[in-house]
Amino acid sequence: MNEPDVIAAMLGLSANGQQAQPRTLAVVGLSDNPSKASYSVSEYMQQHGYRILPVNPGISAALGETSYSSLHDLPVKPDVVNVFRLPLYIPAIVEEMIELGLKNLWVQLGIQNAAAAERAEQAGIRVVMDRCILIEHRRLATRS
């Protein structure tokens, strides 16, 4: 968990910090409220070439993208599932990822569930937990 090469790979960054491949991020818990971290972090990622797929049954859209009720409802398989939910929701998200064959779980800064991370890794899912995807992108994309 949280290995530097896994972080870079999930972000789709090459060794020199350039985006080597386009990435689709399913953002579980994305809010349509610009004052929320999930919105501003996802907006940053969108501005840096990532496709954002909101996963939140409580909203119809965010950042110009249709929102989906669950990972099962997504029109495409995301490269990364980025989670902005309380720790108690992480196990169910992991189970849904296992069912769908999704391979990359990123759980945002301040959110931890060790049992869910262990379950995910045992199922072959790469895990980044308690890290901000924006901070890690900024850090890696700006190195030369």
pLDDT in tens, 15-67: 555 666 778 999 999 999 999 999 999 999 999 999 999 999 999 999 999 99
Answer yes or no: is pLDDT of 141 > 70.
yes
Q: Using a cut of 0.95, tell me whether the model's pTM lies above it.
A: no
Q: Report d(CA 100, CA 11) in Å as an integer.
A: 20
Give residue 50's pLDDT.
94
Q: Report d(CA 137, CA 23) in Å as an integer.
A: 12
Q: Report d(CA 5, CA 66) in Å as an integer.
A: 31
- Dihedral sign for Cα atoms in the order 47, 49, 50, 53: positive
Domains and CATH numbers, the chain: 4-141 (3.40.50.720)
